[in-house]
Amino acid sequence: AQSVTQLDSHVSVSEGTPVLLRCNYSSSYSPSLFWYVQHPNKGLQLLLKYTSAATLVKGINGFEAEFKKSETSFHLTKPSAHMSDAAEYFCVRLSGGYNKLIFGAGTRLAVHP
């Protein structure tokens, strides 16, 4: 079955240090992949998306992700964390059918002063 696995349920970093949120996908082909962020009591917001145009994808707020087919990974990174980055992050893939999204379980990012 098509799925995405987020390897960490919680990640804690200090402000100003790098962020790494890990995601692996299961597939025999290169799917469309996304990262969404969910701040408390707010809707899901798209950070970035991979659709095979380039393996390194830049998103909003300084985030980027690299698609690695050999590792079936799509990890999210940011060089320097801000307090405002504290939120829930979801790795998401597009299903092979009608564009429904399949979400990972989420990674809660905490940023400490």
Contacting residues toward another protein, per CB under 8 A: 32, 36, 41-46, 49, 51, 90, 92, 94-95, 97-106
Question: What is the phi/psi pair of residue 52, to 5°?
Answer: 80, 5
Residue pair 47/17 in contact (Cβ under 8 Å)? The answer is no
Instruction: Identify which of residues 15 and 32 has a Cβ nearer to another protein in the complex.
Output: 32
Instruction: Identify which of residues 41 and 113 has a Cβ nearer to another protein in the complex.
Output: 41
Minimum CB separation of residue 92 from another protein in Å reads: 8
Query: CB burial class (10 A; 0-12, 13-18, 19+) of residue 38?
Result: middle
Instruction: Identify which of residues 5 and 77 has a Cβ nearer to another protein in the complex.
Output: 5
